[in-house]
Amino acid sequence: MTALLTIIVLVFILVAIWQMVKIFDLAQAKNENTQVATDKDNTMNAYLMMGFLAFIYIITIVCFVKWGDLPLMSNSASEHGPTIDNLMIISMVIIFITQTITQFLLHYFAYKYKGEKGKKALFFADNNKLEAIWTIIPVIVLAGLIIYGLNTWINIMGVDESDDPLVVELYAQQFNWKARYGGADNTLGKANVRLIDIDRANILGLDESDPNAQDDVITTELHLPVGKPVLFKMRSQDVLHSAYMPHFRAQMNCVPGMITQFGFTPTVTTVAMRETPQMQEKIKRINNIRVENSKPLLAKGEDPLESYEFDYLLLCNKICGKSHYNMQMKIVVETQEEYDAWIKEQKEFKNSLVN
């Protein structure tokens, strides 16, 4: 109801402004009105262009100083993370330098070559040298970025099976994630959404006759051993999802009807990441905000907001429905010993079925 009233009020305001503009136009009807800009108009617009240029540079500097998190990205927790960060930083530096130069030239030329009575513009119908320069330079820069990016992508996606990676399936559905481990043989059993049987608690559609599926482990929390290569196999039950693990610089679409994959090696445990100065500062800042926001709740006799504790997260990075924003799963990176102890506590698929 509040939104409807707000829209109605905005409509009335717009109608009122429109009527005021019409009245102003009628009042100016007797005055001489021409669409041809005068020298005064051109001079004013020239100075406004330079003023806007100054505004762009000032607001950029303010954003860097106040909100910039230099060196932009520094909390990657996977083996390939620094390479992705380096590629991103190089791209952003090139873009920043290019936009700084081009924006200056655009606004300065508008100022310097503003229209003046009696002045005729000098122009070139074509200039092969200039066209070659502004074509070749972008081609070289973009080709370098593309080749570097492709090489980085090939190295990331080229998971070496001889390293005996831990095989984990990420199963997406509106609006939650499930993780499936291959068990003692590290081999995932066959699965198909058509085999889903809720009555028997076969929630991922595993083939109950497949020997490799018997020791599979299905969990609602993703545990990974630090320093161990992990190969993710991804499925979707319903719509297009995207498995996004920001701290591991990993993302891959989960497409209904097919299996996609992505691999990486986690390098920083959850506990170690929590102890970094950057993360401790973030946790402190968030908890201070929660303390302030809890005061009105406490005044009403309600429970305060819970304290924030950092955890790695698996998020969905595709808008998949009304609860997309809350589609996430906790990721725990731990030592091999801690992982082994945790996986032993989980129930195998053959023991989780309901007869």
pLDDT tens track for 137-181: 989 999 999 999 898 888 888 877 777 899 999 999 999 999 999
User: 237 in a domain, yes or no?
Assistant: yes
The answer to whether position 186 is within a domain reads: yes
Which amino acid is residue 127, in one-letter code? N
User: pLDDT at position 29, please?
Assistant: 58
Pairwise CA distance, residues 290 & 213, whole Å = 44
Number of domains in the chain: 1
pTM above 0.85, yes or no: no
Mark residue 263 as left, alpha or beta (left: phi above 0; alpha: psi -120 to 50; beta: remaining).
beta
Contact in structure between 206 and 191 (CB atoms under 8 Å): yes
Give the separation between CA 297 and CA 301, rounded to whole angstroms: 6
User: What's the Rg (C-alpha) of the chain?
Assistant: 30
202 near 196, Cβ under 8 Å? yes
Residue 282's closest CA among 248, 249, 309?
309
Please state, in angstroms and as integers, the Cα–Cα distance from residue 58 to each residue in 51, 73, 92, 100, 109, following that order.
10, 23, 18, 12, 20
What pLDDT score was predicted for residue 163? 76
Tokens 């068990």 -> residue: 183
Cα–Cα distance for residue pair 242/87, rounded to 1 Å = 22
**Which whole-number Å values give the CA distances from 285 to 94, 107, 236, 280, 304, in the listed order?**
32, 40, 36, 9, 17
CA of 210: how far to CAs of 216, 348, 350, in Å?
11, 14, 11
- Laid out side by side, the sheet with 312-316 consists of 222-225, 328-334, 312-316, 241-245, 250-254
Domain hosting residue 184, numbered range: 163-272+307-352
pLDDT of residue 31: 57
At 62 the pLDDT is 87
Q: Is there a domain that residue 287 lies in?
A: no
- Phi then psi dihedrals of residue 301, to 5 deg: 85, 15
281 falls within a domain? no
How confident is the model at residue 30, as a pLDDT? 58
The pLDDT value recorded for residue 27 is 67
302 in any annotated domain: no
Is residue 87 assigned to a domain? no
**Do the domain assignments include residue 157?**
no
- 176-181, strands of its sheet edge to edge: 217-219, 176-181, 166-173, 230-236, 260-264
Greatest CA separation found in the chain?
94
Q: Is residue 142 part of a domain?
A: no
**CATH code of the domain covering residue 348:** 2.60.40.420
In angstroms, how far is the first alpha carbon of the chain from the final one? 50
Find out whether 262 and 272 touch, Cβ atoms under 8 Å.
no
Q: What is the per-residue pLDDT across 75-131, written as a single tens digit (0 to 9) for each? A: 889 999 899 988 888 888 888 898 889 989 988 988 888 887 877 777 777 888 888
Query: What stretches in the chain show pLDDT beneath 70?
Result: 1, 27-35, 68-73
pLDDT on residue 118:
78
State the Cα–Cα distance between residues 297 and 302, nearest whole angstrom.
5
